[in-house]
Amino acid sequence: MPTHLEQSLQRDIDRIHAKVCEMRDLIETSLRNAMTALLDANRQIAYAVILRDDLIDEKEKELDRLCLEFLVRQQPVAGKLRFAYSTIKMNQEMEQIGDYSENISRQALKIGELPDVVSRERFKEISDMSIKMFGDAIEAYLTENVDLARRTMAVEQAVDALKSRLNTDLVDLYKEGKIPFDVLRPLTTIARRMERVTDRCRNICMEIIYMCTGEYAKHEGSDIFRVL
């Protein structure tokens, strides 16, 4: 039977997990709605995403507070200390992803109606891949699944390649006079923001691997070292 201290520890972890899930749900919804605002030229949805960013910022502060309370109350060591540290770092990454959804919505407002020559399928594809990567990264965190974290990291390269193809297509359309610069610039910004979502997800996965194993490699090809 768990001791009182073990029960207290688990309650705090459960509270942190619950707050992470709240942030995940808010961010996934904002990302999906931001892309809907672009593809459907829906200004109302775009404004809703922009306003929703304040709620994501508030959840970030709440999660930070829970992590700090966990550190003070539990005085964790080793794995549980890595859990708190990695959650704080992950929280920063999630908040940035929320900012990207706001920025995408602002860019969508600049464009208005998406020209027919622009591939909606490409934008939907990069959006779907990025959102799934985010969801998988959070699932790897909640389940402490290192294998899932490593598999999820690999998606980043595919999204990078897709963004490059998308940008090439957009620049070609601009050179051919099929879209104006006022449309080209926000569209390439949106593609870059979706790609940046996967960069943040990769950082989250690296924190998960560190949390679970104590191994930390900041850059691909760098030495892995064990701490805590």
Residue 159's domain is classified under what CATH number? 1.20.58.220
| Nearest-angstrom CA–CA distance, 176 and 183 | 14
Which amino acid, one-letter code, is at 72?
Answer: V
Looking at residue 218, its pLDDT comes to 57
Can you give the residue range of the structural domain that contains 85? 4-226
Which amino acid, one-letter code, is at 97?
Answer: I
User: Looking at the 3D structure of the chain, how many domains does it have?
Assistant: 1
Q: How far does CA 29 lie from the centroid of its chain? A: 12
| Nearest-angstrom CA–CA distance, 21 and 79 | 21
| Nearest-angstrom CA–CA distance, 142 and 37 | 30
* Residue 101: closest CA among 31, 35, 36: 31
- Flag residues of the chain having pLDDT under 70: 217-228
pLDDT digits (tens, 9 = 90+) for 27-41: 999 999 999 999 999
Looking at residue 217, its pLDDT comes to 60
